Amino acid sequence: MNRNQRSTTDIQIAICGSAGDGTIATGDILKRAMAKLGFKVIAFDLYPPEIRGFGKCIARARITSEQVYALKHQSDVLMSLNDHHAIPHVGEVCEYGAVMYDDTPIASVAEGAHISAHLAPTHLPYGVAFREISERTTSGAKSRNMVAVGYLAGVYSMPREVFYDTIRAKFKAKPEAITQANITAFDAGFEAGAATFQLDFNFLGTPPKRDKAADLIMMSGNNAIVRGGLDADIETFFGYPITPATSIMEILATEMPKRGGRLVQTEDEISAVAATIGAGYAGVRSATATSGPGLALMTEMLGLAAIAEVPIVIFVSQRGGPSTGMPTKTEQSDLHLAVFGAAGDGQRIVLAPTNVEGCYVCAGKAFEMAEQYQTPVIVLLDLYLSNRYEAVILPNTIPFDQDCNKGIAKLRMGAPYRRYELTDDWVSPRAIPGDGGFQHVITGLEHNEFGRPSDQSLMHGLMSKKRHEKLKAALHHPDITIAKRFGDEGAVDIGLLGWGSSFGEILEAMFEAREEGIRCSAMKVVMLSPFPVEQVSAYMDDCKVILIPELNYEGQFANLVSSVLGRSVKRLNRVYGTPMRVDEIVKEIRLLNSGRSPPTTEAMVIQRGAL
């Protein structure tokens, strides 16, 4: 039995339109309705870089009965709300997949400008008058996206009641008349879809049973970061807007005041991290969020947090670079910056979640680690993970410790307080400003145990060792995955090693390779610094060949693995600006398994006719 046969339901739907067509809102309603029914959902939206414009928007959602880990490269259904933008994506529809479009344009269409002229013989067309139905039922064309989602629901016999609830929740802040107009448009589309003879073989089976008491929530990676931070009792947040991290600050701005927290939008990223360090020094849990360009600006202050041993958390959502790069495209190219970006030896903890649930766990655990090991902690995600939606089950009780500060013992009468005392675990008892009798000095200069500046070589060596050795305990921090293996146990022919958002695609590729008879396994590495040498080294011992797929040109994770372990790996580096493709990873696995050398990146590009 292959993987597709194991899933009763596995349908991927892409909705394509222009900014202003309601494309993203339509996709949001669809994915939330399916999650409410109990289906597993992975969704990812693409949108234009312009703040206000008419660029392309695509909402993709994969709906399944069983757990999957990535979007498919080809969709089963393409819904066009704008033919100009949708035509380039017709080729992404699988054989005998459905293409739904408006077949009643309001004006003459130039030759080749209508999507119907671009369908392959194996594509199954569904033409329907979205605009006309919207105008007839709501006296306007603005609701044609609701007609479209209603039509989709009608064709595949989706329960309309769950869409009513989702539409009401979507427009709860709007006047009731707007909500009702959207439901009316949905109903009109549903009736048209239900009356349509279905040509394709897509269907929705019975949703999987689940525990009704479980907290199943449809959320994005950034939503999960916020939820994890709030559950870890974040008290202050300082930030400056930057795509794709901005929504972290936006959501916190709404939620933190409800819990007595404080949020400040600063004038730039440098002041944001400086204020975060100030709050951390004062003893409160504090964080900021940024992307690669902002992290580059923060590196000097990160050094201050490291040498002063101040706990702070920085959420970094990567995007296409360098410089301003591609603000609305995904990439995994800030790993070097996150791990090594500092003056001097400024090691910090770096976590890279691989899915939305992992964003929640890493966010909460980051505050624990920052406080327990008195260090900056970077949580490294990217646009794909920030904006990716998944139906996740969150714990019913908060799983994070609210206070991990190493307490201070009562001082002997007149004894001075050693803020940077050298201890067995290299973590010093930490006094908070205002604690009586524990006055101390903190600067950006190298210092002795009391915090007073010192440039003695012996002291610098001890303090450097202190700042590095204490972080090793993070590799054993409780209740967080540091590295984890999947697939075949023992000796394997191909071992996949991955990090961050690409690991879902790596896992799907591993499943396909195993079904083809290739002994294959995969390991995800969540903690990038300090690096889990023992786990990764033991895994590599089992593998004839190690393949590392990642979304950057340099192979930054491969560089990290090779430099730490001194072992060679095979690289699959891609800079699409879009998520990693499962089929390309599978192709690389087959080539490596056959003993042939994979083609160069340039050869791959030439094969696609891109040069």
23-37, 81-95, 589-603 — which is least confidently predicted?
A: 589-603
Kindly report the number of other CB atoms within 10 A of residue 183's CB atom. Answer: 19
203: confidence class by pLDDT, cuts 50, 70, 90: confident
Name which residue leads in pLDDT, 285 or 6. Answer: 285
20: confidence class by pLDDT, cuts 50, 70, 90: confident
Contact assessment for residue 505 and residue 579, using Cβ atoms and an 8 Å cutoff: yes
- Could you tell me what percent of the chain has a pLDDT over 90? 85
Alpha-carbon distance 185 to 136, whole Å?
Answer: 9
The 3-state DSSP class for residue 191 equals helix
Does 97 score more than 50 pLDDT?
Answer: yes
Does 413 score more than 70 pLDDT?
Answer: no
Pair of tokens at residue 30 = 């669809």
Does 486 score more than 60 pLDDT?
Answer: yes
500: confidence class by pLDDT, cuts 50, 70, 90: very high
Alpha-carbon distance 220 to 232, whole Å?
Answer: 18
Does 567 score more than 70 pLDDT?
Answer: yes
Does 601 score more than 60 pLDDT?
Answer: no
Does 481 score more than 60 pLDDT?
Answer: yes
pLDDT tens per residue, range 514-560: 999 999 999 999 999 999 999 999 999 999 999 999 999 999 999 99
Q: What local confidence, expressed as pLDDT, does residue 3 receive? A: 42
pLDDT tens per residue, range 130-150: 999 999 999 999 999 999 999
How far, in Å, are 168, 176, 182, 248, 470 from residue 173 at the CA level?
A: 9, 9, 14, 21, 49
Alpha-carbon distance 330 to 577, whole Å?
Answer: 5
Contact assessment for residue 230 and residue 313, using Cβ atoms and an 8 Å cutoff: no
Query: What residues does CATH 3.40.50.970 cover in the chain?
Result: 213-479
pLDDT tens per residue, range 297-317: 999 999 999 999 999 999 999
pTM over 0.85? The answer is yes
Contact assessment for residue 58 and residue 46, using Cβ atoms and an 8 Å cutoff: yes
Mean pLDDT of 369-387: 98
Pair of tokens at residue 328 = 């609305």
Name which residue leads in pLDDT, 599 or 28. Answer: 28
Query: What residues does CATH 3.40.920.10 cover in the chain?
Result: 3-194
Q: What local confidence, expressed as pLDDT, does residue 107 receive? A: 78
Q: What local confidence, expressed as pLDDT, does residue 55 receive? A: 86
pLDDT tens per residue, range 105-126: 877 888 889 999 999 999 999 9
DSSP-derived secondary structure letter, 342? S
43-47, 363-367, 455-459, 509-513 — which is least confidently predicted?
A: 43-47
Q: What local confidence, expressed as pLDDT, does residue 7 receive? A: 46
Alpha-carbon distance 78 to 153, whole Å?
Answer: 14
How large is the angle between the packed helices 144-155 and 160-170, nearest 10 degrees?
A: 150
Does 598 score more than 80 pLDDT?
Answer: no
Q: What local confidence, expressed as pLDDT, does residue 211 receive? A: 56
Q: What local confidence, expressed as pLDDT, does residue 51 receive? A: 54
Contact assessment for residue 170 and residue 28, using Cβ atoms and an 8 Å cutoff: yes
User: Could you give phi then psi for residue 525, rounded to 5 degrees?
Assistant: -115, 115
Does 158 score more than 80 pLDDT?
Answer: yes
Q: What local confidence, expressed as pLDDT, does residue 288 receive? A: 98
Does 214 score more than 80 pLDDT?
Answer: no
The 3-state DSSP class for residue 253 equals helix
Name which residue leads in pLDDT, 28 or 605. Answer: 28
User: Any idea which fold 483-607 has?
Assistant: Rossmann fold (3.40.50)
Q: What local confidence, expressed as pLDDT, does residue 275 receive? A: 98
Does 605 score more than 50 pLDDT?
Answer: no
- The CATH class, in words, for 3-194 is alpha beta
Q: What local confidence, expressed as pLDDT, does residue 213 receive? A: 44
pLDDT tens per residue, range 421-450: 999 999 999 999 988 889 888 999 999 999
User: Any idea which fold 213-479 has?
Assistant: Rossmann fold (3.40.50)
210: confidence class by pLDDT, cuts 50, 70, 90: low
How far, in Å, are 504, 516, 546 from residue 497 at the CA level?
A: 12, 19, 7
Q: What local confidence, expressed as pLDDT, does residue 207 receive? A: 81
Q: Counting runs of H as helices and runs of E as strands, what totals does the chain give?
A: 20, 20
Amino acid of residue 211: D
Q: What local confidence, expressed as pLDDT, does residue 206 receive? A: 83
Contact assessment for residue 497 and residue 550, using Cβ atoms and an 8 Å cutoff: no
Query: What residues does CATH 3.40.50.920 cover in the chain?
Result: 483-607
337-351: b (≥16 Cβ within 10 Å) or e: bbbebbeeebbbbbb
